[in-house]
Chain A
Amino acid sequence: MSGPSMSRHSKNGGLARLAVTLYPAAWRSRYADEVRVYLADSGGGPRAAASLAWRAIPAWLRPPGHLHDGPARTRASLATVLTAWVVLAGLGAVFVQLTQNQPEAQAAAVAGHPVISWAYWVFDAAAVVSVLAIVAGGLPLWWRLAALTMSLAGAASIAAAAGLYRWASPEAGYHQSWPLGIYVPAVALAAAVALVSAARGIRASRPAGA
């Protein structure tokens, strides 16, 4: 094989080997080594790189059953959904704190647009319902955690929530918006629990030794 040809071949093989890194850890642990040998035998090439990259998507979305701990994967998925939901709800709380709890802005908005005042009430109701849903959904994950982890996560999240609340509304006290006084710490606590659970679930879904 000539120099330039070998260089092109090596570059293509490198791309294909790089594509292998796109796969989940469990898949790589089981197949990456033999795929590398396959690429060395076949010479790799752009077609191999493209096909490996493309097939990495279903390997994430619908991983082969024999590579994963199914229940751990389910817990990780559930915890990730809860985390995303909690983050969304938390950002909503900050938004309300930045807008609703500014006395002048609120008075002007409510006086000029009655619909807006109803919208705020709807938001508050949705916020309370979402907290209940998050707590209910998070309980099974909560029970799986050690007491020490829970205590640390709870203390840290409450401190973070208090800081966030005061940052969002430096002039407002907790008494001015009772739903948020409960809502923000609860959301932060649930977020901490969900994050820790997601991390545990994701670790558990990896193969032993990975």
Chain B
Amino acid sequence: MKDGLDRWADPPLLVLASLADEPKHGYAITQDVAETMGVRLSAGTLYAVIARLEARGLIEPLEAEDRRRPYRLTNAGAEALAVQSERMEKVAGVARRRLRANYGWAGA
């Protein structure tokens, strides 16, 4: 994104959403987030987020494979992601309805 709004994207949520698919190591997470969500996570941000999520028990490390340690979502992480996703869905629904009503937006 070039409009600066990508700062609104919450990196912990992006990482949780990426891991909801399958366990991934750091570089695979950044690739997945970039390809599917259009946000580039820097190395510092990624590992700051991983450390925080691990400390809060939302993700957990698996055995390292060739020095690449994959992480997976815990049940608490899945629950947190579900709560945040519902909240975002509500915001998105309100925004879509109002854009259609007031700005003639015909998007999805």
Contact = CB atoms under 8 A, between A and B. Distances in A.
Interface string B48-67: 10111011000000001001
A131 B55 CA distance: 40
Q: How large is the interface on A (under 10, 10 to 19, 20 to 34, 35 or more residues)?
A: 20 to 34
B23 interface: no
Contacts of A121: none
A58 B45 CA distance: 11
Given A34-B69, A37-B68, A52 B25 contact: no
Contacts, number: 67
Contacts of B47: 31, 35, 38, 52, 55
Q: Is the interface of A mostly helix, strand, loop or mixed?
A: helix
Nearest to B64: A34
Given A58-B48, A59-B48, A64-B55, A35 B27 contact: no
Interface string A41-74: 1101001101111111011000011110000000
Given A34-B26, A34-B64, A41-B27, A52 B54 contact: no
A35 B46 CA distance: 10
B44 interface: yes
A35 B69 CA distance: 10
Contact of B43 (A33, A38, A59, A65): A38
A70 to B, nearest CB: 12
B42 interface: yes
A59 B54 CA distance: 14
Nearest to A66: B55
A78 interface: no
Contacts of A27: 51
A207 to B, nearest CB: 13
A55 B45 contact: yes
Contacts of A64: 51-52, 54-55
Q: Is the interface of B mostly helix, strand, loop or mixed?
A: helix
Contacts of A52: 42-44, 47
Interface string A73-107: 00000000000000000000000000000000000
Contact of B44 (A41, A51, A66): A51
A34 B61 CA distance: 12
B19 to A, nearest CB: 15
A27 B48 CA distance: 10
Interface of A: 16, 19, 27, 30-31, 33-35, 37-39, 41-42, 44, 47-48, 50-56, 58-59, 64-67
12 contacts: A19-B44, A27-B51, A34-B67, A35-B47, A39-B43, A42-B27, A42-B43, A56-B44, A58-B48, A59-B48, A64-B55, A66-B55
Given A19-B44, A34-B68, A51-B45, 5 more contacts: A34-B67, A48-B43, A56-B44, A64-B51, A64-B55
